[in-house]
Amino acid sequence: MPSSADDFLKAVLRSGLLDQPDLQAALADAPAAEPQALADHLVQRGRLTAYQASKLLLGAPKGLKLGPYHIMTPIGKGGMGMVYLALDTRTKHHVAIKVLSPQRKKEGDRHLARFQREIEIAKDLLHPNLVLAQDVGFEQSVHYLVMEYIPGQTLYRLVTNQGPLSVARAARLFSEVATALEYAHSKGLIHRDLKPANIMVTPNDHAKVLDLGLAIMQGETADDQQVIGGKGHVVGSFDYIAPEQTRDAAAVDGRADVYSLGCALFFALTGRAPFIVSGSKEKMQAHRHTPPEFVHHINPAVPPEFAALVYSMMAKSPEHRPASMADVRAALTPWASDESARPMDRAGDATFQAAVAALETAPVQADEEAWGFTRPQTPGRSSRWIEDDARFKLLVIAVSIVWGLVFLLLILVFLLR
């Protein structure tokens, strides 16, 4: 904590969140001159969020302002870094900013390359059921992507907290997802990472597809397979990955997304991933060879005919699945409820403003705990990337040899005594 009120106020000014006249006006009726009291006062006046105040009290003003965007609070975390709620000071609109983790940047150029790919892919997409990209930037050695802010919760969190969805609701939400993916596929784009954690359900109960970090243009090739995947480099989330994607992630088409969407629908109706096995290799083998359990047997409220649709989406061979997302949408629509008349969520909605207000005043948690885009935990835990595991095998062998030598040395010492 800053040693004095003066140090705290200097941190506020260095952050760029407030200029000196605004700060002086906000402090005109401040009750005390202690750093914590001043921070609490600025939060109560709405001049700082609880998250901003916590960072400034730690003497960490850097990164709270990126270009015209004021970082307000963390709302998610992914494989590339944190996602924050931010305020565009030009338009006064709230946005979501995905920031490339400094640690990821240090680990190698491939993480930056993937992040830049997502920026390039997202900027040309425009669909009401896809999260829209709005801007990109680089400041203070930070790469960031600006997207529309979507209040609500992920499908993963919704089902985990409230239980499996009804068939009518699941059919309506997943028909919206299929519509978004039908649009993406028409642009040649394959998502490759569809899962409950990448489907946002809004307050008005509409679906939005998130996270294009692993997307690929059909037929795309690259010299660096660590960026787009290929044989020996598996890209995807292992609870929801298509069998053919585990063999050659760069050679897939839209039917790989059909399979993953079927797995996500399985989760929505049952509350669990299709295959309850541990380890990435075991999960890949299950997707390749093990038939999924019939959804109706897990949740009898699901009619056998609808369960058969889920089963067909999860066929091992792409030729045995629905041929396109248009076919998936057409199959889902007759089962969907009539609640879709509710309007799409907009920034001026009362529910939107309430969601923002709740985030601004929420108690600050550790960044790792403040996940809005929650990633599944065991047994739904996912991994975004498996490198060629030869290096891992060599490491295991080396460690085994070292421990073997230590063991032999201990035996020798014992015998000599």
Catalytic residues: 193
Separation of alpha carbons 169 and 9, rounded Å: 50
Please, is 54 exposed, middle or buried when counting C-beta atoms within 10 Å of its C-beta (0-12, 13-18, 19+)?
middle
Furthest-apart CA atoms within the chain: distance in Å: 84
Contacts of 136 (CB under 8 A, 6+ apart): 119, 123, 143, 144, 145, 146
Separation of alpha carbons 330 and 325, rounded Å: 8
DSSP alpha helix (H) spans, 211-341? 225-228, 243-247, 254-270, 280-289, 295-298, 304-313, 325-332
Separation of alpha carbons 2 and 37, rounded Å: 12
Beta bridge partners of 148: 95
Question: Residue 119 in 3-state DSSP?
Answer: helix
> What is the token pair recorded at 377?
């935990």
Question: Strands (DSSP E) along 12-141, which ranges?
Answer: 65-66, 69-77, 81-88, 93-100, 133-139
Which helix (H) or strand (E) covers residue 356, if one does? Answer: helix 350-361
The answer for 230, left when phi > 0, alpha when psi is -120 to 50, beta otherwise, is: left
Beta bridge partners of 254: none
CB 83 within 8 A of CB 77: yes
Contacts of 123 (CB under 8 A, 6+ apart): 133, 136
> What is the token pair recorded at 266?
């399985």
Separation of alpha carbons 275 and 282, rounded Å: 9
What phi and psi, each to the nearest 5 degrees, are found at residue 93? -95, 145
Query: Pick from 374, 361, 322, 35: which is nearest to 182 by CA?
Result: 322
C-alpha torsion 46→49→52→58, nearest 10: 90
DSSP-derived letter for residue 417 is -
